A and B are shown apart, each in its own frame.
Chain A
Amino acid sequence: MLQLDKLPNQLKNEEVILVLRRDFVIFFFIILRYLLLAILPIFAKIFIIDFIFPHIVDTDEGVAVLTLLAFGYYLYIWLFFYRAFLDYYLDVWIVTNQRILNIELEDLFNRTVAEQKLNRIQDITTEQKGFLPHFFNYGNVYIQTAGTIQRFVFEEVSNPNKVAHQIHKLIKWNKKAFPDDG
């Protein structure tokens, strides 16, 4: 497991300042989506099976098949929900006193780790588009760098303006603390 005191390519005197993820509101809507999927079989039973195919539940064999289908359905809903959680939770942006790290799970066997030193950051902008980001105060933080990866994006993080301000302060501190770096 990734430990915050043993980051990839850990630098000397490096300390973690921020660990950022997408705002919890994003995951809340994912939870709602899967709750809807979980109650879908109940509606299917009431509005489809009982009305259109009532013979299915008249026999023990029909009930057995439907019950197996339901178990299979719920197992896969649970699996995909856990996958959605991992997708949300394993995407992490870490800001230390010396660099920023972007750790993203692309898909099941595809993970990206990108890093950039603070003194190579050229510009930081924030974006909050739409009613929900404004209401729940989350948005994107765009970090322009002078590196191979020219732009880091902290997606849908809480309080993006505060995050940008904190990174600005860290960059200033970093320039004084490590003047010869980079």
Chain B
Amino acid sequence: MEVSLKIFLFAYLIFLFFWVIFSFFNIFHAVKFGLANKTNIIVMIIYIVVSLIIIGVSFMFISTIDWNEKIDILSLFI
């Protein structure tokens, strides 16, 4: 059963979309309700920076793949 790799890319992008929404809510919460101190701000910055690094690396990897290729799902497991 052959499927295009694009399906997995779209699935990842949809996951990323929801991830961004949940991240936004977490950061909003930290900003609105957290104590105004260094720890809160530093951890928030670390979260954003590491997140951007993971997303950046993932997009660098995505750019190297030909997503028009097809993959045979069943042959992967047999």
Contacts and interface: CB of A to CB of B under 8 A. Distances in A.
Interface in A154-174: none
Contact of A79 (B19, B57, B69, B70): B19
Interface in B1-51: 5, 8-9, 11-12, 15-16, 19, 22-23, 25-26, 29-36, 39-40, 43, 47, 50-51
Given A71-B61, A86-B30, A108-B25, A78 B51 contact: yes
The size class of the interface chain A forms with chain B is 35 or more
A98 to B, nearest CB: 19
The size class of the interface chain B forms with chain A is 35 or more
Given A1-B31, A82-B26, A108-B25, 15 more contacts: A1-B35, A1-B36, A55-B78, A62-B76, A65-B5, A65-B71, A68-B12, A68-B58, A72-B15, A72-B16, A75-B15, A79-B26, A86-B26, A108-B29, A111-B33
Interface string A67-90: 110011011101100110110011
